[in-house]
Chains A and B, each alone.
Chain A
Amino acid sequence: MEESENMSNKKKLTASLGDKTFRLLTLLMAMSVLALMVWIGWQMVDSARPSIAKFGFTFVIGRVWDPVKEQFGALPFIYGTLVTSFLALIIAAPVGLGVAIFLNEMATSKVRSVIGFLVEMLAAIPSVVYGLWGIFILAPWLRETVEPGLAKWFGFIPLFQGTPLGFSMLAGGLILAVMILPTIASISREVMAAVPNEQREAALALGATKWEMIRIAVLPYAKSGILGGVMLGLGRALGETMAVTMVIGNRPDILSSLFAPAYSIAAVIANEFTEATSDLYLSALVEIGLILFGITLILNVFARLLVWSVERGPKGGISS
């Protein structure tokens, strides 16, 4: 009796020892990610120091970017990045969700696998290829057809005024929309596929049409996952460099028209890093990278809060 108790105690001890080691190990790994984040952040702040010291907060709100006179303001790049990314989001989120709904709930399995594959292929196209397509097809098409058309019908809105140039924020936003579409579509599709069939049947049995079933049973169940997919798409749009720089026009201006050329943070870093000779110039580019880092961080925190608030739903329920 006593002996067996001893045995079990011993067993417990080794088990808990194993647990502890395992916990420590995983904790260490988790901490290393945090450490890496902090380290990168610190390094960037350190390298950006000359620019931070010289311009202070005016760096963020300054509109002039003149390397010759060593005058650096980041606002045009922040503006270009945000406008093109949100434009992409506004287009790609509904389309991606529509694609996911169609593939999951409407399409036959054959159509689903073919179109599903094609959508995923969109993600496999290198961004420089998107850029080429943008230069030779998208931009001319915008210049000759879309922008004049928009100007004609919606010209009273400042967004659609000015000379149609093709290389514009509109082009940047559209190309980003195509690029983030597969992310949003495939993540939405996955979370919708994970909705238990009992949920669909519950709605159908009450006399719901297919669309009503999607609205009351599928989308609410999947909404936090869908939101996550959309935020992932936004993250990708904010950081995308090559395709955007090829079509956005690369001019550090802040103009209200979507037809106007602009510049994005990622694009200016990639384009000017090699020619940045002075310390101040270099540190300004690093600081602008730091701003991009900050924007994605803020948006992610915001997204997390949004996901939390939709996940919570009615009181008392702990939904997975």
Chain B
Amino acid sequence: MGQSLSIHNLEAWYGSNKILKGINMEIRPNQVTAIIGPSGCGKSTFVRCINRMHETLPRTRVRGEISLDGRSIYDLNPVALRKTVGMVFQKANPFPSMSIYDNVVAGLRLNGMKNKQELKASAEKSLRMAALWDEVKDRLNYSGMSLSGGQQQRLCIARALAVEPSVLLMDEPASALDPIATTHIEELIRSLKEIYTIIIVTHNMQQAARIADSTAFFLSGELVEHGPTSEIFTNPHDKRTEDYITGRFG
């Protein structure tokens, strides 16, 4: 089941550079929330705070509160948290020394799953969900690097899905995909919200409009506006949101 997220006064730094300047946001379970905003405004940093990936880098700092179904994520072991909060990165990052199959089941193996039948079934299911199964089913033992960029990204999506998290963070998962694969992924996201809470960073406004229940607009490390997608796109309250949506923005 998806879990809700509640974010209070979230601030994040890279060195002395303050990237997030006090974000407050409620994310409801089993919904797709789109994060939009110009390049460099802190979208990736924001989602990387939610699975505590930001703080793994040297000289970074996070302050504020994030809770998952009412429980602070800082009370959880980060390893356990990341099994609940999965992530697909902006840049595809399959493990080059592993086969396609091994990539998909890498997370399951970390969780201690050994049963071959189960692993196989789970790999197929995840690859189907990520719209990659038909392209790779005959060469599952090939290297993950033998795939095209877009295929690699879908492989990473399958890898994240395989561990069945309850929250899925997706940082521009479709930026390297062709329209057909993008459509598949969008369908996937729409169907996944039955099970997951999904937060997706996207530069594609139409995509946000198509798949997101709610949309948040970030600007220079601040959350300008967050509301139902239809409202953000048709009747934004903030002038800056309107400018960005209508493309009158740098």
Contact = CB atoms under 8 A, between A and B. Distances in A.
A49 B146 CA distance: 53
Interface string A217-248: 10011010000000000000000000000000
A192 to B, nearest CB: 14
A204 to B, nearest CB: 6
Given A221-B97, A314-B141, A206 B146 contact: no
Interface stretch (A178-186, A207-215, A285-293): A207-215
B89 A205 contact: yes
Nearest to B59: A109
Contact of A206 (B98, B99, B100, B163): B163
A223 B97 CA distance: 10
Given A220-B95, A319-B96, A319-B143, A206 B82 contact: yes
Contacts of A315: 99, 139, 141-143, 146
A202 interface: yes
Interface residues of A, number: 28
A199 interface: yes
B143 A208 contact: no
B93 A212 contact: no
Contacts of B106: 203, 206, 216
Contact of B139 (A199, A203, A209, A316): A316
Contacts of B139: 315-316
Interface in B27-68: 51, 53, 56-58
Contacts of B89: 198, 201-202, 205
Contact of B111 (A109, A199, A203, A207): A207
Contacts of A109: 58
Contacts of B96: 199, 220-221, 313, 317, 319
Contacts of B86: 205-206
| Interface core residue of B102, B146, B156 (most chain A CB under 10 Å) | B146
A220 B53 CA distance: 22
A212 B110 contact: yes
Contacts, number: 101
| Interface core residue of B82, B86, B102, B139 (most chain A CB under 10 Å) | B82
Interface in A101-142: 109
A318 interface: yes
| Interface core residue of B51, B97, B142 (most chain A CB under 10 Å) | B97
Given A202-B156, A221-B97, A313-B143, 16 more contacts: A201-B56, A201-B93, A205-B87, A207-B82, A208-B79, A209-B79, A212-B110, A216-B95, A220-B97, A314-B98, A314-B141, A314-B142, A315-B142, A316-B146, A317-B142, A317-B143
23 contacts: A198-B93, A204-B82, A205-B53, A205-B82, A206-B83, A206-B86, A206-B107, A206-B163, A207-B79, A207-B83, A207-B107, A212-B110, A216-B98, A220-B95, A220-B96, A314-B98, A314-B143, A315-B142, A316-B139, A316-B142, A317-B144, A318-B145, A319-B96
Closest 7 A/B residue pairs (Cβ):
A317-B143, A316-B146, A207-B83, A206-B107, A220-B97, A317-B145, A316-B142
Interface of B: 51, 53, 56-58, 79-80, 82-83, 86-87, 89, 91, 93-100, 102, 106-107, 110-111, 139, 141-146, 156, 159-160, 163
